[in-house]
Amino acid sequence: MILGLGIDIIEVARIRASHEKFGERFLHRILHPNEIAYCLAHKNPAPFLAVRFAAKEAVSKAFGTGIGAQLGWRDIEVGKRESGEPFVILHDAGQKLLHERGARAVLLSLSHTENYAAAVAVLE
């Protein structure tokens, strides 16, 4: 049963500009170490950073909280299976909300181009 649905789209240039302006501080504020390593391993990390930003926004919308007091950036992590399929790892407040909502999983779909990144999350 679907308990929540979230979607987000962001301009890659916005995330590129934040990364250029704030550097490591920006990355460590929104991403986990594995996410940072994965994104920075690419020649052009901006689309990969942006799609993770969008994913976290989409997950927070699926929970109905947005990013804020109940759910933070680092409560949500985006992993990648060997097949390439993205998946959600919830930490701390994310795990708590999953339990409180009576949900069992968060499904995630990601897409990005040179200019835009988008994510859809389903709380089930």
Query: Which residue out of 19, 32, 56, 112 is catalytically annotated?
Result: 112
Active-site residue (options: 61, 91, 96, 99): 61
Q: What whole-number distance in Å separates Cα of residue 62 and Cα of residue 18?
A: 25
Token pair 């990005």 is found at 112
Q: Is 43 a catalytic residue?
A: no
Residue whose C-alpha is closest to residue 57's, from 10, 14, 92: 10
Q: Tell me, what's the pLDDT at 5? A: 98
**pLDDT tens track for 64-111:** 999 999 999 999 999 999 999 999 999 999 999 999 999 999 999 999
SS3 102: coil
Q: Which residues of 60-82 are buried (b: 16+ CB within 10 A; e: fewer)?
A: bbbbebebeebbbbbbbbbeeee
**What's residue 21's pLDDT?**
97
Q: Whole-prediction pTM value?
A: 0.96
- In whole angstroms, how far apart are CA 13 and each of 68, 71, 94? 23, 25, 28
80 is catalytic: no
Walk me through the domains of the chain, giving residue ranges and CATH numbers: 4-123 (3.90.470.20)
Q: What is the pLDDT of residue 81?
A: 95
